[in-house]
Every structure is written in C-alpha cells, then in structure tokens.
Chains A and B, each alone.
Chain A
C-alpha cells in the first residue's frame, strides 16, 4: 500500500535557495537524527516546489545513515485507504500496529484530511504514539495546518508543537540555478543569457520552469543556430496550446537506408528529448494501477458485503494485502462467493435438522465448507440413525444360481455404480426366494463405499418412522433425514398398498432421491403392477428401473443351499443326503432350509448323524395321502406365485415344474 522512495530525490539534487533554506535545514536535521530534533516536522507550500522531493530525500538519507532503519512513505490517499479498509474490517488496531516498527513515517499531502474527522483522530493517536516511542513523522501539505479546513483542534496543537516550515516559490536566482542544473543534466547547451532570460519568467513552481526548459531544448535541437535570448523570450511568450505548437522537423526515413530493404531499423539523429516516452510510461502505469485498484475494490466490496453478515473473509483480506494480485479477481471472488453459497445451503439444512446448531462458526467460514458439510451429515445421523443392512444377511451366505442370476448380476452393477444403472432396482419373487437377503447384500456392498450412507429397512419400519414424524409434527426432519441418504433400500413395498398418504410421502421421497441420482432398491412379493391399491405413478416408476425376478430354487440352487448349510454346521455334507434332499422340490430357499432343518433335528433327537437314509425314512414315512397333496396344489398355485407378471424384456421367468411343486407342497 505504500509507495517506494524514489532514489532520484535526494538532498544533493535538491536546488537550495533562500525560499526553501529553512525547510531544507530542518529536513536534513530530521533525516540525520530521526525522532530527536523536530517531531513532527510539517512542511507546507504550494504545489511543484519540491515538498515531495524533500520528503523523499529525508527518507533516503535516513535509510543511508543507519542501515535497516525502517522508513515508510505514504500519500494521504494511501493512508486514508489503509484506514478505511482496516476499519471496514473492524481492525482499527491492525492499522495502528502496522506502523509499530516504522522508524520514520512520511505522509504527503495531508491537506486532503480536511473534513475527515475520524481519520484525523486516528492520525492524532498515531502521532502521540510516535512521539512517545521516539518514532519520527514528517508531513506535508499545500497550506499551513491552521488553513486546512475543519481540522481537529488537538491535531492542530500537536502539529504546531513540532516544527512547521514552509517552502516558497523559487526566486530568480534559484530559477537560474535550477535551469542550469537541469540543462546540464540533459546535455543541453544554452547561452548564459538564454538561461537568464528564462529565469526571468515569473513562474509559480519548479515544474512549470522545467516545462519551459523542455520547450527550449526542443526548439534548440531543430534550429540551425543556437537559440538567442530574444528568440527564447519570444518563444516562451507563445500562448499557443501545445498541440498546435508543432515544429516542422526534417526526419530521416527508414527508406534512406539504401542497401538492404529488409533491414529497416530506422536511423535517427538524436531527437530533442521531450520525455514523451516517460510521459507515456507514466500514463500506462497509472492506468494499470487504476485497474488493479478496481480489482482491489472488487475485493473490498466483497469483504464489505459478507463481513457484516458474519462471514469470515480472511481469504480475500489476504489477497488484498498482497501487493500483487494473485489470481484472476473474478475467479477468486467467485470461488469465495460460491463457498458462501454452499455454507448457506448447509446452514439451511442444519436449520431443518438441528436448528440449535445452525449458528456454528463453521457455517460462517468459507474456508471450512467441508467441516460444515460434515456437521450437517452428523446431525442428520444423530437425528435417529436409519437402520443399515443387517448382519444376519451376509453376502457370503447368499447362494447364486440360475434362478436368481439376473437379479445377482443387477446387484453387481448397482454396487459398483449406484444410482447410474438400474434405478430403482426392484426384486420380485415369491416368499422365501431370497429377496430380503439379496436386498441386504446390496446394502452391504454399497456400505463399503467411502462416505456412503445406506438406509436399509422394511416397509413397516418406514411406515413407523413416517407415523412418528406425523405425530411429532416434524415432517421437515423426516424428509431431511431420508433425503440425505445415498441409497435407500426398502423391503416388501407391497405393504404400501392401500395407504394413500404414506404412498404420497414415499412417492415424494422416492422422486427426490432419484432426481439426486441416489440409488433406490426395493423388494416386492408380486409384480408391482399386480399390487392392488398401489398408485399408478409409483408402479410406472418402479417399472422404469429394473424389475428383477427371483425364481423358486431349481435343483442346482437347492443342492448348493443344502451343501452350504451342512458344511457350515458339520464341515462336510453326506452326498446321499444332499442328493436326496436336493431332489425334493421347493418353492423357496426357506422351504429347502426347513427341510434340512427337519432332518437335522430328527438326527439330533435320535443321536445319529444326518443321512440320506434318515431323511428318506423321515420324509417318506410321513407322506400323507396323495389326495391331500392335490388339494394343496391348488392352494399352492394361488399362494406361491399369485400372478407374478413379467414385463417381457426386463423379467426373466421360468415357471417351476408343476410336478415338483406338487411334491413340495406335500413336504
């Protein structure tokens, strides 16, 4: 925020004359022993008389006198800006602190503090602090302190308590000296009387004087003969605007370089130096600086916008303090504001879930977005954890076969790519074919993903939760909780049949999850279309995913199930027993396991090993009359596969062999 000292401004290059001798001497004495002689030193005088030159000369000298001595030069604009930013950010202290290590503070143009009481107060405080700790301050202004409008009385007294000196316009002698010095510096050779003639012009300040010299130099460079005093006077009297005061000059052209048409580096005689380039450079610099100022303002605007709302703006403040703009401003501010947007969303979510925690500091710090997200997740979980997949249905215990291969394949795809492949995934099948087990297998698979939240529950549990929310009048919380899961797995959705309100809530939730790309997996004991009293909207959405059929176990599956169970219990399975049991039809895995269980219990009761023989005796010895069996065929036909309808392309369906079914029912 400060300006560098210009090394060209030294005491050596300062032209000394009667009009500025006092100021010059005071400046030197302050430069050589800062804090020890006049503190503060106040230099005033009209513009263009070298106040800034003196100020910087003090700084340069003080720095060369003692190495490492800290000097800061500020224009009042810079001072004001620093102050405004600091106070806008509620950090007036940091403003004061930043001058702590400064041995010499140079403040230019303090007339601009007129009418600015708060900053005047700040300057007063600063000044007192400086005096106490022996830090030197030098100030300049174009008027004496008392003439600066609306100045704090105490500040005036403070300034008067130091030394107040003025610089007056150069007298003729001084003008002559300045002209001579400058002419020499730039290698222009003027007759003494020309210098004298120019010095005679009553110009108000040094800058104007140098302007005259420039015009003269330009004129001299193009004239055949040296400029005379009369010519100089005549020329300087010209009251023509600079633009029209064009002097015709013969300029050598590129074309005059005859030999090589491709080497056209122009030849120029030394042109009169009229600093046009320097002028251009300073123009460009100030435009660029202004633009960077615009960036800073953009930062400041964003800081001022968000800070009062309680957001931490450290990121922008850092960018603002770095002298150089670090990143494309729009990107920087844009990211910052996007982070705030995210925080607001999180805070909103927290208000739904746990309003008392919605003002956590993390919701106000754009550098802690991840933390805010975490807080919300945590709160949602604490709200009453939704059940996950049950350990009772382990993935390893699920037996795959032709009867469930399609469903199993869909499970694989869903676990590796949730929300993307089959959504919803609906398992359909009669009782005991393993729908619930498979549902939990999906749950376990998904739960191994990082940061992935799986809710897995029965429709009854879902309905209970819903009822509870209605009773407690906490709909929002209910929705927030379910809306936050990454996958929702619900068993036996046929139980929704006939419950209009619950279906509505389910439908709402279901859509929300689907839209958000969250995975939904359901089971149903019949094809959704055949559930009476299930809203058509829901049915058609189910069918929009994948309805995967689980068939009654075939012989292979039965075999596998039996072997697995026997091996689990005994470490081995008797082949005869396996073959015999596997040959018996069953409409469900549960049925198969029931059969195994019967044999095992009998073996246990008799104190013998389970075997094919035992099984035969047990089962065939107990065969009821065939007629009973045929009666139950009809029953079975109705109960075990009531209209499991298959949409041709999505459902694979193999009707169990009727003969086997008959026998199964006899078991």
Chain B
C-alpha cells in the first residue's frame, strides 16, 4: 500500500508503535482514542491478555477527512512487545509508513529498549525495508516516574537515537507528549508526499 493514491485520491498513513513489552505503546493509542471525536475514529481493535499484554496488535483507524482534495486516513498500530511474538511484529511492520519507537525510560529497562530496537531493524530488513529510509521518531515514555529511576532525554538519545531522529519525552498515561509524538511522526511521513512519484 502506498502513502498516496492519486487515482482514488487517498492518503493513508500506516504508523506502527514499536518498542519493548510494557513500554506504553497501547497506552499511547488509548490516549489518542480518548481524544478523537467519535466521528473521526473507527473502532479500536485491541487484542490483549487479562494482564494487559498485547497479544496480537492494537489497531486504531483515524479519519481526518478531506485535506486538499485527498481523503486522509491514519492507521495506528501497536506491536506486542514481548520477545516471543516476533512473527506478529514482523507482520504488523509490513507496509508501515512510519514508526514510533516507544522506549521505557526506566534505567533498568535500557537493555530491553536496545534489544527491541535491534529487533526492529532486523524485522524491517526481513520485510525488505531500510530503516534509513523510514520515518522513525522516538518516544521516551514514563517520564513521570521519579528522576532516580529514569534516564534523561539526553541519555536515552545517546543510547538509542544515533541517527538523530526527532525524540519526545512522554507520560502516555496522562497523555503528555502523546500527540507531540504523533505529530512528529506524521510530519516526517507526510513530508514524503512530495517525494512519492508513483501512484
């Protein structure tokens, strides 16, 4: 699926929230869901265990209406963060126009973040996509936790964001930083519209 279809005049952005287990991906989508007026969102599909771990993926379709003559939609997905659901992650990544990497800011989660980031690169490669070409932004979540438990934005940038992509601090539970992140990735994705030449 391409970002823009000139024949049907549609822009469809598929954005995937990626990251280690329990970093707050689903929470991001839930927050967004709560902020989108009824008519603009589809049903949020969320397949999770009783303990709140995403089992398959979350899916939230947003209808942004007509923009400059194009029917514009966003499709937000999360992947299951737990290590053993890799097949699903790979599947969800297919055709992604942009990725939000949701990192857990807690210091003790650093290894999980790094591992998940490597896993992202491998899965992209397996899908024939190149992480260098793909719009990616970072979200450092759970910044509301006590300072001595978490890493700062700079520390996290150093550890994860070596390509200097946009990064955002967030507290997805309260919603702070959630829309900033979404805007950040949308902007990167949409900038590609003028580069896309095939329908």
Contacts and interface: CB of A to CB of B under 8 A. Distances in A.
Given A280-B179, A284-B72, A291 B194 contact: yes
A292 B68 contact: yes
A325 B4 CA distance: 12
Contact of A246 (B34, B176, B187): B176
B198 to A, nearest CB: 7
A243 B169 CA distance: 9
B30 A254 contact: yes
Contact of A288 (B6, B40, B48, B190): B190
Contact of B34 (A248, A266, A280): A266
Contact of B183 (A268, A283, A292, A323): A283
B9 interface: yes
Interface stretch (B49-57, B80-88, B112-120): B49-57
Contacts of A287: 186-187, 190-191
Given A246-B171, A247-B174, A261-B49, A288 B194 contact: no
Contacts of A621: none
11 contacts: A243-B177, A246-B176, A248-B144, A253-B30, A264-B46, A264-B58, A283-B187, A284-B72, A285-B64, A294-B193, A328-B199
Interface string A378-398: 000000000000000000000
B183 to A, nearest CB: 5
A110 B112 CA distance: 55
B96 interface: no
A21 B2 CA distance: 53
Interface of B: 6, 9, 11, 26-27, 30-31, 33-37, 40, 43-52, 58, 64, 67-70, 72, 144, 169, 171, 173-180, 182-183, 186-187, 190-191, 193-194, 196-199
Nearest to B44: A265
Interface string A236-280: 000000010011110101110000011011101001000011011
Contact of A277 (B37, B173, B187, B196): B37
Given A251-B173, A261-B50, A265-B44, A288 B193 contact: yes
B68 A280 contact: no
A301 B9 CA distance: 24
B52 A288 contact: no
Contact of A324 (B9, B72, B169, B182): B9
Given A248-B174, A264-B48, A327 B6 contact: yes
A330 interface: yes
Contacts of A264: 44-48, 58
Given A248-B144, A264-B44, A284 B67 contact: yes
Contact of B48 (A255, A285, A325): A255
Interface string A623-651: 00000000000000000000000000000
Contact of B50 (A255, A266, A285, A331): A255
A277 B177 contact: no
Contacts of B182: 280
Given A284-B72, A323-B69, A324-B68, A266 B9 contact: no
B190 A284 contact: yes
Question: In the complex, which range does the number of interface residues on chain A fall in?
Answer: 35 or more
A266 B44 contact: yes
Contacts of A268: 30, 33-34
Contacts, number: 127
A276 B35 contact: yes
A253 B6 contact: no
Interface string A278-317: 0111011101110110110010000000000000000000
Nearest to A322: B69
Contacts of B70: 288, 324
A329 interface: yes
B127 to A, nearest CB: 24
A328 to B, nearest CB: 5
Contact of B174 (A249, A279, A285, A331): A249
Nearest to A294: B194
Contacts of A266: 30, 33-34, 44, 46
Given A249-B173, A277-B35, 15 more contacts: A246-B174, A246-B176, A251-B31, A251-B174, A264-B46, A266-B44, A268-B33, A276-B179, A277-B40, A279-B179, A283-B187, A284-B183, A326-B6, A328-B6, A328-B198
A240 B49 CA distance: 39
A295 B194 contact: yes
Contacts of B196: 328
A362 B171 CA distance: 65
Contacts of B199: 328, 331
Contacts of A292: 68, 193
A108 to B, nearest CB: 19
Given A262-B47, A328-B197, A253 B34 contact: no
Nearest to B189: A287
B36 A277 contact: yes
A288 B197 CA distance: 15
A11 B179 CA distance: 33
A278 to B, nearest CB: 9
A261 B179 contact: no
B73 to A, nearest CB: 11
A276 B36 CA distance: 8
A271 B190 contact: no
B190 A291 contact: yes
A265 B43 contact: yes
A253 B169 CA distance: 21
B67 A288 contact: yes
Contacts of B43: 265
A251 B35 CA distance: 13
A530 B67 CA distance: 77
B195 to A, nearest CB: 9
Question: Which 4 residue pairs are nearest across A and B when measured between Cβ atoms?
Answer: A324-B69, A264-B46, A330-B197, A294-B194
Nearest to A283: B183
B179 A289 contact: no
A277 B63 CA distance: 11
A467 B54 CA distance: 87
A245 to B, nearest CB: 8
A380 to B, nearest CB: 37
Nearest to B180: A243
B76 to A, nearest CB: 12
Contact of B52 (A248, A254, A279, A291): A254
Contact of B51 (A255, A276, A288, A325): A255
